[in-house]
Amino acid sequence: MPLLYPLLLSSALFGIGLYGVLARRNAVMVLVGVELMLNAVNLQLVAYDAWFAETLHTGQVLTLFVIALAAAEIGLGLAIVMAMFRATGSIDVDEADRA
Partner 1 sequence: MIRRWPYVALTAVVAVAVAIWAIPELDQRAFFGYVPTNATPTMLPSLSLDTRVLPDSAKVMLLAAGVTLLVQVYSTAYMGKDRRYRSYALLIVLFLVAMIAVVATDNLFVLLIGWEVMGVCSYLLIGHWWEQPQSRAGAMKALVVTRFGDLGLLVAIVVIGQTYGTYSITGAWVGAADQGQQHGTAIGLLVLLAVVGKSAQVPLQTWLPDAMPGPTPITALIHAATMVAAGVYVFARLLPLYGNDTTVMTALAVVSGVTMLLAALFALVQHDLKRALAWSTVSQLAYMFAAIAAGAADVGISHLVSHGAYKALLFLGCGVVMHAVGTSALSAMGGLRTTLPATFWTMTIGFAALAGIIPTVGFFTKDRVLESIHVATHGETPLPGGVAWALLVVAYVTVFVTAAYAMRLWMLTFLGLPSKQHVEPPSMTWPLVALGVACLALSIGEPLDLDTAALSTLVALAGIAFAWWRQDADLPGPVQRPLAAELGLDHPITRLIPAGTIGVARVADAADREGIDVYPRGGAVLAGLVSSAVRALQTGRVQVYASVIAVGAFVVVLVGVIAR
22 near partner 1, rule: CB under 8 A: yes
Q: Quick one: how far is CA 62 from the chain centroid?
A: 15
Burial (CB < 10 A; 0-12, 13-18, 19+), residue 88, is middle
4 near partner 1, rule: CB under 8 A: no
Identify which range of 2-10, 42-50, 63-71, 90-98 contacts partner 1 by CB under 8 A.
Answer: 90-98
Of the residues 21, 66, 74, 80, which one makes contact with partner 1 according to CB under 8 A: 21
Q: Calculate ∠ Cα 34-91-78, nearest 5°.
A: 50
Applying CB under 8 A, the residues found at the interface with partner 1 are 18, 21-23, 93-94, 97
